[in-house]
Chain A
């Protein structure tokens, strides 16, 4: 008499189970923040993609999150939206719990580090930027990696075309590799604050160029400008190909 051996009973060993489900996707797009002397801007294109599909041509991703702070989280769109939602509701409780105290940009910045690092082992797959004015009224931009490492900077590009835009910004905002005429490359061009007009021109150039060279960037450019008088939103069309 034969007995059919069952291997099923031995299945409960600790072989790691294979997950076919990939919880992340890349929704493209790119973002950019620049701080000026008394203003800061945060810009992002409005395209959202999956693979070679353009899913939407207008899906804003830079938001006014309150108290003159703007925020964006670019990369995996669901995580980006979730991060901003979390920040917004924490912001509300901060207001309730602290007698409506104004949230300073450095407090917001530190809090976002905790939001990101809190998911260190299942990260928000996004490059995050916030912009606003510091306590002296000077423009401030903070940038993050997906797990919460952050720093304050004069400018930062994030997302799909970050590597295209960032070197351009190094040169045009921080005057890297720029020298005084006639100094034979020995005297660096001195740093100075850019005006809002200069910054907007840089942003538009950065995005039209990124649109030319990166397939995930295009359709529209939305810029949020923070000054002491509040937040202004401007939109410029980009190429839709």
Chain B
């Protein structure tokens, strides 16, 4: 196993200016199954691929409602996401109670960013092991943010996190214009599911059991659809399995340039990492 002298805690930089614990936390996101978010300006759609630990077990929830106007999708350690979503729910309720207005999406993400950042600078603490896509509708329109354990948040028109999410991003980049000009939520959901489908490995397909769909936007409260409800959108896909996948099998997530603002200096080689997408054996369960 690769040894690294600078990854014992999150308060020590490596000589090249990197915070390995924070980077490992970002890797935990990639262990989780994919979640995709897209926005048309008036609506945001979050879709996610659920995993079950074993055949007889239930599927881990991937999308959590925060308030009538906000929700999140997660990839990584689900328990960490629960803590963060609980915190967001409290903020949202406090905003309604004290200020009689819905929590602003920008304020929500900056608040969890502040919380996450503390863990990157505190000895003995562990950065959150989860990435979030935050969807919100407020007086300035529909918003989609990506939250990372490093404490960085960025707003996106389309974003994907989790295992093999680069494939989804590629889809989103190619179809950005079509996505932005969507007027119907239905179309937006189909684009979201197309992107999600591209993250599938070859033996998998989107089913009503493993697919979650949610949306929020103008005149639309945040709603999550699971199981039978999802069939209506799966019917609209030309394929529920990833046909492109077999042709070229390159997953290049590892080579992603780190998102701007993370504590990474994009130089030197990365430490060896668990092959992403594979189930983590002796590790904590990720979803």
Contact = CB atoms under 8 A, between A and B. Distances in A.
A and B touch in the complex (CB under 8 A): yes
Contacts of B97: 85, 89
B115 interface: no
Interface in B79-130: 89, 93, 96-97
A8 interface: no
A239 interface: no
A89 B97 CA distance: 8
Interface in A110-136: none
Nearest to B92: A92
Contacts of A96: 65, 89
**Central interface residue in A85, A89, A93, A96, by most chain B CB within 10 Å:** A96
Contacts of A92: 93
B162 to A, nearest CB: 24
Contacts of A89: 93, 96-97
Nearest to A85: B97
Interface residues of B, number: 5
Contacts of A93: 93
Tell me if B's interface is mostly helix, strand, loop or mixed. Answer: helix
A89 B93 CA distance: 7
A85 B98 CA distance: 10
A11 B65 CA distance: 57
Nearest to A100: B65
Nearest to B64: A96
A91 to B, nearest CB: 11
Nearest to B86: A96
Nearest to B89: A96
Interface in A42-56: none
Interface string B243-283: 00000000000000000000000000000000000000000
A96 B97 CA distance: 17
Interface string A91-104: 01100100000000
A93 B89 CA distance: 9
A85 B89 CA distance: 16
Contacts of B89: 96
B16 to A, nearest CB: 44
Interface in A34-73: none
Nearest to B94: A89
Interface string B52-81: 000000000000010000000000000000
A84 to B, nearest CB: 12
A89 B96 CA distance: 9
Contacts of B65: 96
A85 B93 CA distance: 11
Contacts of B93: 89, 92-93
Nearest to A96: B89
A221 to B, nearest CB: 26
A80 to B, nearest CB: 16
A61 to B, nearest CB: 17
A38 B65 CA distance: 33
8 contacts: A85-B97, A89-B93, A89-B96, A89-B97, A92-B93, A93-B93, A96-B65, A96-B89
Given A89-B96, A89-B97, A96-B89, 5 more contacts: A85-B97, A89-B93, A92-B93, A93-B93, A96-B65
Interface of A: 85, 89, 92-93, 96
* 7 closest cross-chain pairs (CB), A and B: A89-B93, A89-B97, A92-B93, A96-B89, A85-B97, A96-B65, A89-B96
